[in-house]
């Protein structure tokens, strides 16, 4: 059945650790032993911290890359909004992100770190989308394009998807049953009642839907 929206996969922390172990195994088999890990904020932070543990690395720094207008326009350019937070002079550095899609953030982060005087720079992601312009040196799995809903972005992504459903259906009010049905039809996402009730509370907290919560999900005017 053709989806009305983007194909999405919901990942849990078992999936994340599975991919992180696959990535770490490839790094350990290689000739590269990082001394410093740089996590790209925000998406790469949790993976970066896990790689510190799996590879025995004590130095963890950050860079922040933002995409401007990425959801609204096609020319959402990547921008370095916070430079490298620590000294990597003479060090072997692993730059870590969650996924390579356009590859723009990783290209930019690696270039920036290379300008900071390291001995060597390599890159690692949990997932690599086939055809991405940037191929990380190490990644857990290669996948075809889908929107991967990482556990650290669950409420943000689901809020965005449900907002799109309201737009697509041209309504201001939906029942929980309808939200559940539309998520399946739009995005192939199947959620439990408990997950839906937590998302609803989150959307109320952010005032995307009316708060105090009603039985229905009512868009805030």
Binding site for ligand ADP (CB under 6 A): 43, 67, 78, 97-106, 132, 134, 147-148
With 0-12 CB in 10 A as exposed, 13-18 as middle and 19+ as buried, what is 106?
Answer: buried
Q: Which residues contact 209 (CB under 8 A, 6 or more apart)?
A: 200, 203, 217, 218, 219, 220
Tell the smallest beta-carbon distance from residue 109 to ligand ADP (Å).
8
Tell the smallest beta-carbon distance from residue 4 to ligand ADP (Å).
18
| Nearest residue to 161 via CA among 212, 205, 196 | 196
Q: Distance between CA 47 and CA 97 in Å, rounded?
A: 7
Of 6 and 177, which CB lies nearer to ligand ADP in the complex structure?
Answer: 6
- At residue 62, φ and ψ (nearest 5 deg) are -135, 155
Residue nearest to ligand ADP (CB): 43
Longest dimension (CA), the chain: 59
Tell the smallest beta-carbon distance from residue 64 to ligand ADP (Å).
11
Tell the smallest beta-carbon distance from residue 171 to ligand ADP (Å).
27
Q: Distance between CA 52 and CA 154 in Å, rounded?
A: 23
Of 3 and 177, which CB lies nearer to ligand ADP in the complex structure?
Answer: 3
Of 61 and 134, which CB lies nearer to ligand ADP in the complex structure?
Answer: 134
Of 51 and 105, which CB lies nearer to ligand ADP in the complex structure?
Answer: 105
Of 62 and 105, which CB lies nearer to ligand ADP in the complex structure?
Answer: 105
| Nearest residue to 104 via CA among 160, 157, 40, 158 | 40
Tell the smallest beta-carbon distance from residue 133 to ligand ADP (Å).
8
């Amino acid at each position: 059945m053709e989806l009305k929206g983007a194909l999405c996969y919901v990942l849990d922390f078992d999936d994340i650790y599975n991919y992180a172990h696959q990535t770490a195994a490839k790094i350990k088999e290689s000739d590269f032993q990082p001394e410093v890990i740089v996590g790209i904020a925000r998406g790469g932070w949790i993976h970066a911290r896990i790689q510190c543990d799996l590879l025995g690395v004590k130095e963890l720094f950050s860079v922040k890359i933002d995409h401007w207008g990425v959801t609204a326009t096609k020319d959402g350019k990547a921008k370095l909004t916070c430079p490298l937070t620590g000294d990597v002079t003479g060090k072997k550095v692993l730059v870590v992100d969650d996924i390579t899609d356009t590859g723009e953030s990783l290209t930019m982060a690696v270039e920036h770190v290379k300008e900071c005087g390291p001995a060597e720079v390599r890159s690692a992601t949990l997932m690599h989308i086939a055809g991405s312009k940037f191929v990380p040196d190490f990644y857990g799995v290669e996948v075809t394009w889908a929107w991967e809903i990482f556990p650290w972005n669950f409420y943000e992504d689901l809020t965005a998807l449900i907002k799109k459903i309201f737009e697509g259906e041209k309504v201001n009010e939906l029942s929980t049953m309808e939200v559940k049905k539309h998520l399946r039809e739009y995005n192939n996402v199947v959620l439990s009642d408990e997950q839906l009730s937590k998302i609803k509370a989150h959307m109320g907290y952010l005032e995307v839907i009316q708060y105090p919560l009603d039985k229905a999900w009512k868009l805030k005017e």
